[in-house]
């Protein structure tokens, strides 16, 4: 369990349990929250009661379990309004496709959905369902709608599901959900007044008007860092390559395409920043001479193109780093080579480098999770698999430690 127990002490967590096989995991979640000294109130849907009896959650939480909007209210309060007002955080775990759809469309036809609609507290969703249901376009649209309204998600994980399928859809483990809860409830504002430049996404190097050299970066990690910074009060400039992600509200976006664009965007802005976090994945090579016309395939003939190196953005920025600044880089590798990461950190004058082995399940491209190893000149911190947003906050915690060390 996370060590940040003080984050949850005295907090009121309302846990919504819906009708999925993962409802049994919610019992452990309640237990962990109680051990962290949180006050826990459980709301169960009718279908959830088919998997776990309300008495179980009542015993674990020490509070009555709400199942019926029309039950006698406690202490002369309208129960769903009372819970909505007292909550510091709502957690729905497991969150079925059905309940996610209801929340996305503002339905309020049971105790859980009615209470969430009435609350001003943050809401954390832990999806759990069959892989195909999770990947279905309506489900993804519904999740996007919830994120757009400010709700947070944790998971789902991948693996063998209860239905026998293998893939995404498994509810995050209780320890992971507790970590996500701590991130949502963590004290905000520790980056207030700081100017931070974040780079994200790939670059594209044209070969002809149709084709280009690029890589598989989705930009998700960089965008997660930008979101975490904004939540912690930073003034964020996001230099972004071509990705299919919405720019976090409050960030100043600078769109780039090529590595040369990235070089110019970073080197002109970095001197004015307190922190530079380089999560972009620039192409290392570009065509010596891009064709002005589409290259046409000729029968029986191959194709030879000459490439040259692109500018080293991180190295150029590091050469002009000021004593008070903190510069962070990323190393997406196919092995956990700490020596290589340290050499890269030293050659580019970085204070910290985030190493991740993209061949590890859950740490590759275009997934919601990451497995980072944070390398500084004096320490190596291996993080477990977690959401990219959680990893972003852990990274930002390390950056603050480095800043304090610089005085």
Q: Is there a contact between 125 and 134 (Cβ–Cβ < 8 Å)?
A: no
Residues 6+ apart with CB under 8 A from 304: none
Given the residues 27, 49, 163, 354, select the one marked as catalytic: 163
Catalytic residue at 354?
Answer: no
Q: Give the chain's end-to-end CA distance (angstroms, integer).
A: 32
The CA–CA distances, whole Å, from 45 to 23, 53, 69, 92, 114 equal 11, 11, 10, 11, 11
Element (H, E) at 403: helix 388-405
Q: Is there a contact between 306 and 287 (Cβ–Cβ < 8 Å)?
A: yes
> CA 372 to CA 331: how far, in whole Å?
10
Q: Is there a contact between 337 and 356 (Cβ–Cβ < 8 Å)?
A: no
Cα dihedral value 84, 87, 91, 92, nearest 10: -20
Q: List beta partners, residue 381.
A: 374
Q: Is 382 left (phi over 0), alpha (psi -120 to 50) or beta?
A: beta
Q: Which of 273, 351, 366, 256 is nearest to 311 (CA)?
A: 256
In this structure, the strands spanning 326-333 and 352-357 are parallel
Element (H, E) at 374: strand 373-375
Q: Is there a contact between 197 and 276 (Cβ–Cβ < 8 Å)?
A: yes
Q: What are phi and psi of 187, to 5 degrees?
A: -55, 135
> CA 233 to CA 229: how far, in whole Å?
6
User: 3-state secondary structure string, 58-97?
Assistant: HHHHCCCCECCCCCCCHHHCCHHHHHHHHCCEEEEEEECH
For 364, counting Cβ atoms within 10 Å of its Cβ (0-12 exposed, 13-18 middle, 19+ buried), the class is middle
Catalytic positions, written as ranges = 163
């Amino acid at each position: 369990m996370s060590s940040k127990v003080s984050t949850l002490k005295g907090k009121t967590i309302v846990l919504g349990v819906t009708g999925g096989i993962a409802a049994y995991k919610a019992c452990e979640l309640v237990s962990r929250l109680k051990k962290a000294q949180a006050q826990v109130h459980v709301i169960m849907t009718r279908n959830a009661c088919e998997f776990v009896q309300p008495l179980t959650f009542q015993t674990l939480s020490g509070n009555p379990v709400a199942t019926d909007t029309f039950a006698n209210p406690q202490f002369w309060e309208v129960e769903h309004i009372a819970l909505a007002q007292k909550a510091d955080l709502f957690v729905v775990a497991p969150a079925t496709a059905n309940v996610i759809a209801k929340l996305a469309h503002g339905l309020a036809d049971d105790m859980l959905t009615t209470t969430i609609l009435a609350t001003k507290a943050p809401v954390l969703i832990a999806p759990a369902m069959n892989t195909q249901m999770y990947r279905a376009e309506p489900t993804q649209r519904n999740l996007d709608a919830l994120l757009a309204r400010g709700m947070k998600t944790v998971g789902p994980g991948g693996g063998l599901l209860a239905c026998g399928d293998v893939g995404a859809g498994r509810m995050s483990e209780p320890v992971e959900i507790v970590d996500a809860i701590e991130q949502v409830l963590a004290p905000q504002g520790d980056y207030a007044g700081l100017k931070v430049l974040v780079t994200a996404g790939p670059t594209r190097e044209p070969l002809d008007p149709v084709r280009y050299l690029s890589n598989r970066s989705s930009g998700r990690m960089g965008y997660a860092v930008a979101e975490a910074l904004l939540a912690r009060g930073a003034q964020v400039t996001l230099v972004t390559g071509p990705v299919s992600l919405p720019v976090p509200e409050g960030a100043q976006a600078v769109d780039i395409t090529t590595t040369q664009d990235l070089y110019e965007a970073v080197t002109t802005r970095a001197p004015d920043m307190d922190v530079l976090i380089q999560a972009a994945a620039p192409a290392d090579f570009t065509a010596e001479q891009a064709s002005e016309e589409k290259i046409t395939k000729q029968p029986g003939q191959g194709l030879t193109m000459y490439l040259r190196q692109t500018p080293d953005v991180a190295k150029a920025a590091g050469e002009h780093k000021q004593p008070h600044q903190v510069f962070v880089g990323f190393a997406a590798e196919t092995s956990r080579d700490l020596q290589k990461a340290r050499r890269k950190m030293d050659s580019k004058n970085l204070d910290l480098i985030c190493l991740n082995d993209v061949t590890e399940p859950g740490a590759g491209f275009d997934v919601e999770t990451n497995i980072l190893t944070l390398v500084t000149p004096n320490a190596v911190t291996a993080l477990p698999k977690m959401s990219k947003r959680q990893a972003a906050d852990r990274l930002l915690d390390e950056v603050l430690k480095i800043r304090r060390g610089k005085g």
